[in-house]
Amino acid sequence: MKTKTVSILLGIIIVAKLFLTFIQQGRISLDGDMCSIIIPSESYKPVMKDPFAVNVLLNNKIYASPNRSFAHWTMYSYFRTVPFFLQLFTNKIDSIYASAALAKTLIQAFFIFLLASLAGNTNNIRSLDFLIPAAVISFLFQIYDLNSVLGLIQSSITYTFFYSLPLCLILYLFHSLYFLEKNGGWKNAGIFRKSILILLPVFLSLNGPLNTGVAIIACPLILLYLIWKNRKQMYNSEGNLQLKQTYQLVPKSVRIVFSIFIFFSMYSLYIGKNNAESLNHTLSLPERYHRMIEVLPEFFTGNIAMPILILFPVISLFFTDNFIHKNDFIPAKNIALGIFIFTLVYVALLPFGGYRVYRPTILRTDTFTPVLVCLFYLAGRTSYELIQSNSGWKKNLSIVWTIAFTVYFGMWDISLYKQNRYERAALQTLAKSTEKMVELKTDCTVMSWVPLTDYRESELNCKLLKYWGAIQTPDFYFQKPDSPDKLK
């Protein structure tokens, strides 16, 4: 009865946090890239027409984002359909914000499920093995004050589709392989499941900007671990190394899926050389390293939340008392070491990913999200093992320690600040206007990164708002802030 009560309480807490997340995300402003992707702009039409970048491969064509076609198609398809469905329940302007909030909340919920499932080694969402890490992980997602530090779900809806969602799907791929091997391996998988596992790496390789790097680092590390774990079987009775035996140490599902993922990731990196968006932003590799190294101390210690997120699982591991692992459950200490190695390699290779003027220091929360996924998992895994491995007063102390950690992050993210209230008011002004050209008497951003003083920059925004039915007449709008200091 006590276990059932705790399970119900944890379930309510997790659902309540997701409900709060939806409300908060509905109060976030729209970003300046979404219209060019959803319309799309002239610069993005080539990638929509050539999803596999055949023109780049055969004709050496250069255009924007040739290796990110499926990220474009995913966001395009979502915002071309979901807002109209939500208009059945709310007004047309609110449906835009609700669509963005729904996407972010669903991605967050999927992240929580996948991370907690792996942390507790179970797909049973009603068990404490799942609910304990899920409750901890759910409070690590930050929308307001700590989003610039721990923003696994980005404030920008475009960044959510291009960074958060693809990483979530990579995690789903690894999750599927893990539980597939727990339940008989490739030979027991149905045709549908095999098809998903074969096609998903192709989809992911031509998706977000981080996927290829994650695949090329993570897949070999996992393969090396699997070989090392079974290293004694690599030799025959005479002590001679058998290459065929080494090859067979890796499960068939992993061999197939990782081969496809690595191959298409290499292809993606190759065609990515013809990304028109990269050609305009040049900075030498040594200078990129110099800029990144300069900000490393500030990035990891500038806000106390990051050191706490890193130290919590380390301390928890130290006090975990002889936890008995379930079958096929990789020890948390091995996982922590793997995450440490992955982080070192990933951060060390970040400058090779190119340079953007809007990301001058190379290392930023959006580029750090793969490591955040690992840290979130480790926090959930170690909190679960710490509580399960102890008894008596040690167990009570472990629970208090875990609750304190969770409450700390929860207190950072309880705001209901309506960040987009001025933007909403501006859209209402456009909706009521009967003029083709509208001057907005506001200095906030309106579906843009900065206030639009040039009316021509608003053309796509108005086209998209008309497509959704949110406005009828205006073709353009512009803003004239009183002074540069008032720009937001």
The pLDDT assigned to 394 comes to 86
- C-alpha–C-alpha distance, residues 261 and 216, integer Å: 8
Residue 239: CB partners within 8 Å, gap ≥ 6? Answer: none
The pLDDT assigned to 480 comes to 82
Question: Do the Cβ atoms of 105 and 21 come closer than 8 Å?
Answer: yes
- C-alpha–C-alpha distance, residues 376 and 116, integer Å: 9
Higher pLDDT, 37 or 232: 37
**With 50 as the cut, is the pLDDT of residue 450 above it?**
yes
> pLDDT of 51-107, one tens digit each?
999 999 999 999 999 999 999 999 999 999 999 999 999 999 999 999 999 999 999
The pLDDT assigned to 94 comes to 97
The pLDDT assigned to 487 comes to 38
The pLDDT assigned to 61 comes to 93
**With 90 as the cut, is the pLDDT of residue 45 above it?**
yes
The pLDDT assigned to 355 comes to 84
Question: Do the Cβ atoms of 28 and 420 come closer than 8 Å?
Answer: yes
**With 80 as the cut, is the pLDDT of residue 136 above it?**
yes
- Whose tokens are 């449906």? That residue is 95
The pLDDT assigned to 488 comes to 40
pLDDT above 70 as % of the chain: 93
**With 80 as the cut, is the pLDDT of residue 339 above it?**
yes
Top-confidence range, 236-245, 352-361, 375-384: 375-384
> pLDDT of 383-431, one tens digit each?
999 998 888 888 899 999 999 999 999 999 988 889 999 999 999 999 9
pLDDT band at 322 (very low <50, low <70, confident <90, very high): low
pLDDT above 90 as % of the chain: 77
What is the pLDDT averaged over residues 32-51? 95
What is the pLDDT averaged over residues 361-383? 95
**Least confident segment among 253-267, 334-348, 385-399, 449-463:** 385-399
**With 50 as the cut, is the pLDDT of residue 194 above it?**
yes
* Chain mean pLDDT for the chain: 91
What is the SS3 string spanning 436-474? Answer: CEEEECCCCCCCCCCCCCCHHHHHHHHHHHHHHCCCCCC
**With 90 as the cut, is the pLDDT of residue 351 above it?**
yes
With vertex at residue 285, the alpha carbon angle to CA 284 and CA 289, rounded to the nearest 5 degrees, is: 120
The pLDDT assigned to 390 comes to 80
pTM, to two decimals: 0.93
The pLDDT assigned to 249 comes to 78
Residue 358 DSSP label: T
pLDDT band at 362 (very low <50, low <70, confident <90, very high): very high
The pLDDT assigned to 397 comes to 92
- Catalogue the E-assigned strands of 285-395: none
The pLDDT assigned to 375 comes to 97
> pLDDT of 225-261, one tens digit each?
888 877 666 665 555 556 666 667 788 999 999 999 9
Residue 206 DSSP label: T
What is the pLDDT averaged over residues 322-342? 78
